[in-house]
């Protein structure tokens, strides 16, 4: 198969009633574009696989998981299979509209964006359980990571292939894809896209995902600021703890020299605990530094990514 201009990755899980209208709408929207469609079936327990096989055309690949791994893993698998110059991602529940993809692709090509993210302009979801938690999470992520998108929860996005295939998707980090892309120096923009109410099936997400987002945010902030230099985080906290504990113990020593009884004071226990915590944090930082170096050096990975390389007036492929 020749390299198409676009690969569309769609994750599906127990969406048997949505498959036929989803594929029909996607094929119609992509008419005139050299494309492939990759559906990742995330361990469904209904007839999703049978429906895909029934209605898929010759440009469609189906990736079938042996069990349910989650949306992030499904997206990663689809992106790994993609061979297009650009990769679009969308959900398989018919809430994203494939007719938005051609315009997003054209914008990425014409204006040389690495990522064009969808922003659900008129979101068709429940206000209390979906919209309010989403707005809160979006505000926290936007202001803590300094990646200023308004809608982190919209799966509909178009990427340059090299950006999408080097993001390193693990766990449940699909909500933080813009942050992962930004770490690669990606230029991104956001456009309004259509959003439809769910007609068939039930949502796979609930209020509990807000807590998962907050937990993942801590990880993302660590990746963003300290992944390549963990000693700056653990060492800094360790030194602060050690110094505070040392100051407390010096203060108590002075009191002891002056004849006061310091035994049994809570501040004495606090001083020793801070010193021990400081030693542990510094040790953790050193071990983390060794792990980071092993991670990069054992796989011959670089701590940087070259976007372009020129010799004189000639452009050279940086991968060579």
List, for residues 260-289, the tens digit of each pLDDT value. 888 878 888 899 999 999 999 999 988 988
Q: What is the pTM of this model?
A: 0.73
The conformation of residue 127, written as its DSSP 8-state character, comes to: I
pLDDT digits (tens, 9 = 90+) for 106-148: 999 999 999 999 988 776 655 565 566 667 777 777 777 778 7
Length of the chain: 320
Q: What is the pLDDT of residue 256?
A: 87
Q: Is the pLDDT of residue 192 over 60?
A: yes
Residue with tokens 């009884």: 261
Whether 92 and 70 have beta carbons less than 8 Å apart is answered as no
How far is the C-alpha of 310 from the C-alpha of 305, rounded, in Å? 15
Q: What is the pLDDT of residue 320?
A: 56
Predicted confidence band of residue 259 (pLDDT cuts 50, 70, 90):
confident
**CB neighbours of residue 165 within 10 Å:** 15
Helices (H), the chain: 19-29, 48-55, 71-81, 101-111, 132-145, 161-164, 177-183, 209-226, 230-257, 266-298
Predicted confidence band of residue 316 (pLDDT cuts 50, 70, 90):
low
pLDDT digits (tens, 9 = 90+) for 52-77: 999 999 999 999 998 888 888 889 88
Among the listed residues 3, 217, 193, 215, the one whose alpha carbon sits nearest the alpha carbon of residue 89: 193
- Residue 173: helix, strand or coil by DSSP? helix
Mean model confidence pLDDT for the chain: 83
Whether 56 and 28 have beta carbons less than 8 Å apart is answered as no
Q: What is the pLDDT of residue 240?
A: 93
**CB neighbours of residue 16 within 10 Å:** 18
Q: Distance of alpha carbon 129 from its chain centroid, rounded?
A: 22
Q: What is the pLDDT of residue 264?
A: 76
User: Which residue pairs from 51-58 have beta carbons closer than 8 angstroms and sit at least 24 positions apart in sequence?
Assistant: 51/16, 51/19, 51/20, 52/12, 52/19, 52/23, 54/19, 54/20, 55/19, 55/20, 55/23, 55/24, 56/23, 57/23, 57/27
Q: What is the pLDDT of residue 303?
A: 56
pLDDT digits (tens, 9 = 90+) for 14-44: 999 999 999 999 999 999 999 999 999 988 8
141 against 304, higher pLDDT: 141
Predicted confidence band of residue 98 (pLDDT cuts 50, 70, 90):
very high
Q: How many CA atoms lie within 13 A of 123 on its CB side?
A: 19
Mean pLDDT (whole number) for 216-239 = 80
Q: Is the pLDDT of residue 297 over 80?
A: no
How far is the C-alpha of 141 from the C-alpha of 152, rounded, in Å? 8
Q: CB under 8 Å to 254, separation ≥6 — which residues?
A: none
Burial 90-105 (b: 16+ CB within 10 A, else e): bbbbbbbbbebbbebb
Whether 173 and 72 have beta carbons less than 8 Å apart is answered as yes
Q: What is the pLDDT of residue 200?
A: 65
Name residue 120's beta-bridge partners.
193
Q: What is the pLDDT of residue 111?
A: 95
Predicted confidence band of residue 203 (pLDDT cuts 50, 70, 90):
low
Lowest model confidence (mean pLDDT) among 133-147, 168-182, 196-210, 231-245:
196-210
- Residue 42: helix, strand or coil by DSSP? coil
Percent of the chain with pLDDT over 90: 40
Mean pLDDT (whole number) for 215-224 = 74
- Residue 58: helix, strand or coil by DSSP? coil
Mean pLDDT (whole number) for 209-233 = 74
Q: Is the pLDDT of residue 2 over 90?
A: no
């Amino acid at each position: 198969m020749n390299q198409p201009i676009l690969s569309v990755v769609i994750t599906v899980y127990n969406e048997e009633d949505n498959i036929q209208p989803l594929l029909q709408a996607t094929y119609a929207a992509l008419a005139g574009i050299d494309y492939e469609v990759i559906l990742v079936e995330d361990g469904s327990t209904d007839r999703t696989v049978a429906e895909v096989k029934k209605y898929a055309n010759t440009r469609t690949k189906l990736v079938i998981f042996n069990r349910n791994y989650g949306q992030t893993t499904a997206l990663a698998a689809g992106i790994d299979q993609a061979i297009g110059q650009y990769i679009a991602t969308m959900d398989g529940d018919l809430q994203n509209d494939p007719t938005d993809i051609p315009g997003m692709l054209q914008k990425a090509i014409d204006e040389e964006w690495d990522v064009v993210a969808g922003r659900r302009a008129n979101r068709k979801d429940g206000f209390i359980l979906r919209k309010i938690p989403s707005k809160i999470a979006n505000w926290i992520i936007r202001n803590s990571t300094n990646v200023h998108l308004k809608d982190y929860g919209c799966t509909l996005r178009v990427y340059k292939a090299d950006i999408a295939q080097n993001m390193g998707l693990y766990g449940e980090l699909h909500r933080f894809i813009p942050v992962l892309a930004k770490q690669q120096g990606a230029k991104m923009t956001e456009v309004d896209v259509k959003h439809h109410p769910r007609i068939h099936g039930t949502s796979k997400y609930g209020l509990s995902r807000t807590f998962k987002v907050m937990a993942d945010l801590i990880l993302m902030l660590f990746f963003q600021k300290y992944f390549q230099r963990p000693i700056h985080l653990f060492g800094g906290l360790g030194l602060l703890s050690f110094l505070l504990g040392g100051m407390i113990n010096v203060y108590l020593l002075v009191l002891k020299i002056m004849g006061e009884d310091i035994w049994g004071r809570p501040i004495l226990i606090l001083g020793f605990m801070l010193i021990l915590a400081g030693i542990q944090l510094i040790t953790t930082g050193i071990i983390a530094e060794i792990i980071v170096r092993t991670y990069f050096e054992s796989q011959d990975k670089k701590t940087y990514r070259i976007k372009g390389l020129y010799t004189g007036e000639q452009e050279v492929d940086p991968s060579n």
